[in-house]
């Protein structure tokens, strides 16, 4: 069990629901992979839109909905999306994701900070998606966000933890939870994030676009658990030369 | 009367609730913005759309 955003959760694996081939997989992930937090996005729906199905109808009652402001170009749009989210769900969890550039989808730190200031004051549980920037993370912690979500590598790239030297200081220095978000492509990357001491990870593409999203979600859930257990025990030091595992003394004489 | 819904013009007379039902959308899972402002669900029935109003109907879709 760990506590985040005013909730007690068992699973440290948060899952994004974008690109899923079938929304009915969400319920299966909830029951079979133990996923408790699902990220969703707000888009136009209805006539003349690509989207006809509403993902909310597929999220099990007990699950927590994290409203993602993705698509927002500035803090005003992000705040508006958060308000819509609260209007439609009981959830006050909002992932603040603001990107102006669509090539790398890097978060806009300045707009993110502004949106977080407003949303914390409005009583939201705020989860900003950020660059692995310790100074920004500290600033956000001061403001009162629930957790920070630094990227492992650019969204959807499956490249894994591309900047451990930048992420580690955030994990070490700030007291609120750190959720590694974006770029994690394999269960082993997720395990690595957890071994580093991340409190949780958020995975979307690597699960949703795999040949079997449910099986992959289970694989990620196990990797996250394994990495967390290892972190709690403490990782061992690396050595330059071999360190015998069996005793070298009292060997049989030849 | 002409309004714009999600970037497309349409002929419509009535309130927001009528519009949502007319488009076969579930009122419980949609939010409506008129001219960029969210209209609370409790006000849908009394909110009669005017000529030239820009309506956006949004809901949740898969996202990361």
Structure tokens belonging to residue A110: 């300045």
> A1 pLDDT band (50/70/90 cuts)?
confident
Distance CA A71, CA A100 (A): 9
The model's pTM is 0.89
At residue B23, does pLDDT exceed 90?
Answer: no
pLDDT of residue A100: 86
Distance CA A40, CA A203 (A): 12
At residue A254, does pLDDT exceed 90?
Answer: no
Structure tokens belonging to residue A92: 């006050």
- 3-class SS of residue B54: strand
| Residue A144, number of CB atoms within 10 A of its CB | 14
At residue A244, does pLDDT exceed 90?
Answer: no
**CB-closest option in A41, A88, A182 to B29:** A88
pLDDT of residue B1: 85
At residue A183, does pLDDT exceed 90?
Answer: yes
Rounded to an integer, the average pLDDT of A206-230 is 97
Residue found by looking up tokens 């714009």 in the block:
B4
pLDDT of residue A120: 97
Which residue, among A83, A144, A148, A153, has the nearest Cα to A109 in the 3D structure? Answer: A148
| CB pair distance less than 8 Å for B63 and A49 | no
At residue A26, does pLDDT exceed 90?
Answer: yes
At residue A90, does pLDDT exceed 80?
Answer: no
Residue A58, phi then psi, degrees to nearest 5: -105, -5
Structure tokens belonging to residue A254: 């030849």
At residue B21, does pLDDT exceed 80?
Answer: yes
Residues of A with CB under 8 A from a CB of B: 16-20, 23, 39-49, 51, 53-57, 65, 67-68, 70, 80, 83-85, 87-89, 155, 182, 202, 204-205, 208
Least confident of A150-154, A171-175, B27-31, B55-59: B27-31
pLDDT of residue A158: 92
Distance CA A149, CA A193 (A): 12
| CB pair distance less than 8 Å for A45 and B25 | yes
Q: How many CB pairs under 8 A join A and B?
A: 108
**Per-residue burial over A24-38, b = 16 or more CB atoms within 10 Å of its CB, e = otherwise:** ebbebbbeebebbbb
At residue A77, does pLDDT exceed 80?
Answer: yes
pLDDT of residue A124: 96
Rounded to an integer, the average pLDDT of A24-43 is 95
Rounded to an integer, the average pLDDT of A170-182 is 96
> A170 pLDDT band (50/70/90 cuts)?
very high
Which residue in chain B is spatially nearest to A181 when comparing CA positions?
B64
Out of A10, A95, A100, A175, pick the active-site residue. Answer: A95
| CB pair distance less than 8 Å for B63 and A88 | no
Least confident of A12-21, A142-151, B24-33: B24-33
> A87 pLDDT band (50/70/90 cuts)?
confident
Which residue, among A1, A5, A39, has the nearest Cα to B62 in the 3D structure? Answer: A39
Structure tokens belonging to residue B37: 């402002």
Is any Cβ of chain A less than 8 angstroms from the Cβ of B48?
Answer: no
Distance CA A191, CA A177 (A): 17
Residues A151 and A109 sit within 8 Å (Cβ to Cβ): no
**Per-residue burial over B18-37, b = 16 or more CB atoms within 10 Å of its CB, e = otherwise:** ebbeebebeeeebbbbbeee
Residues A185 and A220 sit within 8 Å (Cβ to Cβ): no
pLDDT of residue A143: 97
At residue A252, does pLDDT exceed 90?
Answer: no
* Length reported for chain A: 254
- On average, the pLDDT of chain A sits at 93
Rounded to an integer, the average pLDDT of B18-38 is 88
At residue A196, does pLDDT exceed 80?
Answer: yes
pLDDT of residue A148: 98
Instruction: Determine which of B5, B23, B30, B61 to mutate to test the interface with A (most A C-beta atoms within 10 Å).
Output: B61
Active site residue A95: yes
Residues A223 and A190 sit within 8 Å (Cβ to Cβ): yes
Q: Name the DSSP class of A161.
A: -
- On average, the pLDDT of chain B sits at 89
- 3-class SS of residue B31: strand
Least confident of A9-13, A134-138, A203-207, B31-35: B31-35
Rounded to an integer, the average pLDDT of A215-224 is 98
């Amino acid at each position: 069990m760990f506590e985040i955003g005013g909730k007690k959760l068992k699973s440290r694996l948060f899952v994004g629901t974008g690109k899923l081939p079938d929304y009915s997989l969400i319920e299966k992930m909830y029951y079979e992979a133990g996923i408790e937090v699902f990220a969703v996005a707000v888009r136009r729906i209805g006539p003349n839109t690509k989207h006809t199905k509403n993902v909310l109808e597929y999220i099990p009652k007990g699950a927590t909905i994290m409203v993602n402001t993705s698509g927002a170009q500035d803090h005003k749009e992000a705040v508006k999306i958060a308000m819509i989210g609260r209007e439609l769900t009981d959830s006050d969890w909002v992932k603040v994701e603001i990107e102006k550039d669509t090539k790398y989808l890097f978060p806009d730190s300045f707009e993110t900070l502004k949106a977080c200031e407003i949303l914390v004051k409005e009583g939201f549980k705020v989860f900003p998606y950020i660059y692995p920037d310790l100074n920004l993370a500290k600033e956000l912690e001061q403001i009162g966000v629930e957790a920070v979500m630094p990227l492992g590598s650019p969204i959807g790239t499956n490249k894994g933890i591309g900047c451990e030297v930048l992420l580690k200081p955030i994990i070490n220095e700030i007291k609120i939870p750190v959720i590694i978000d974006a770029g994690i492509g394999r269960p082993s990357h997720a395990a690595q994030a957890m071994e580093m001491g991340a409190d949780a990870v958020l995975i979307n593409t690597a699960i949703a676009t795999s040949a079997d999203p449910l099986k992959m979600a289970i694989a990620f859930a196990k990797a996250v658990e394994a990495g967390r257990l290892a972190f709690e025990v403490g990782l061992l030091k690396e050595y330059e030369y071999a360190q015998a595992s069996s005793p070298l003394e009292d060997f049989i004489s030849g | 009367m002409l309004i714009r819904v999600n970037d497309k013009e349409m002929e419509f007379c009535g309130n927001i609730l009528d519009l949502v039902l007319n488009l076969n959308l579930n009122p419980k899972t949609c939010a409506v913005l008129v001219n960029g402002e969210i209209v609370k669900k409790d006000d849908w029935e009394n909110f009669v759309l005017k000529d030239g109003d820009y309506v956006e109907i949004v809901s949740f879709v898969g996202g990361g």
